Amino acid sequence: MSKIWKDGQFIESTDATVSVFDHGLLYGDGCFEGIRIYNGRILKLRSHIVRMFESASAIRLQPGYSIDEIEEKVRETVKINNQKDGYIRLVFTRGKGTLGLNPFLCPEATVFVIVESIKLYPEEMYEDGMSIIVAKRPRVPAECLDPKVKSLNYLNNILAKIEAIDAGVLEALMLNIDGEVAECTGDNIFIIKDGVISTPPTSSGILHGITRRLVMEDIAPAIGLTVQERTIKLDEVLGADEVFLTGTAAEIIGVSHIDDIVIGAGKVGKITHALEDQFRKMVSENAPED
């Protein structure tokens, strides 16, 4: 049984509850971060918390704690649960309020930290590659809901995820309303063609992924490669030599098929494997916490 830090105190996970009047539950009004622990170190903890506060600021949510205080509480929760490898879920909700939409009638935010184990995809997929589909549902435009805000309202992604599950796979690629490649339901996407790695720019309507940035700034350069950000069309993805996804829970995982199209040789490619290996080396030896 794990312990949850919630609103200033540690409680047993079985006793951790949120009010039915909490606007995070009623309206998806809040934000969250998923963070990984490797060998006792919390990967990019500070970056995740900074992004969390940027999300909160964008929706004018005041959590009632500073960045330093939240970092301290996350570390305490990891320590009290004696978690050496695992997953952290940090959540800010608007808090308990009325049944109306007005967020400013919620006097105090709800804040909690969960520390648990996680296994997003089967291990064999990291060797053989995963099959995905192209979702029929487009990504919500940034003008409507900025994807930089990692909000509690993931219904757009969930409906695309349902498309994937109905098709017998675990992930779906989402396009923006202009037909450009955006991201998957929970992961960012990269393609490799003739040795060149590319990924959609944030202007395509994607989350500013922490693992995405880690690949661009640390993982790829460590093995002598660079990543370019550019607008990508679907036919470029389908014709790529390699495709891989990145995310906190997913880490780095290669794609073998998209719909009925075989990607490259139909298995995880050489460059993707090299990136995976470098990622594993980094997090096992000295995962950066900044």
| Active centre residues (catalytic) | 150
Q: Is 123 exposed, middle or buried (0-12, 13-18, 19+ CB in 10 A)?
A: exposed
Nearest to 156 by CA among 175, 170, 169: 175
What dihedral angle (degrees, nearest 10) is formed by the CA atoms of 113, 116, 120, 124?
150
Instruction: Please calculate the CA angle 35-120-75 and round it to the nearest 5 degrees.
Output: 20
| 150, 52 contact by CB (below 8 A) | yes
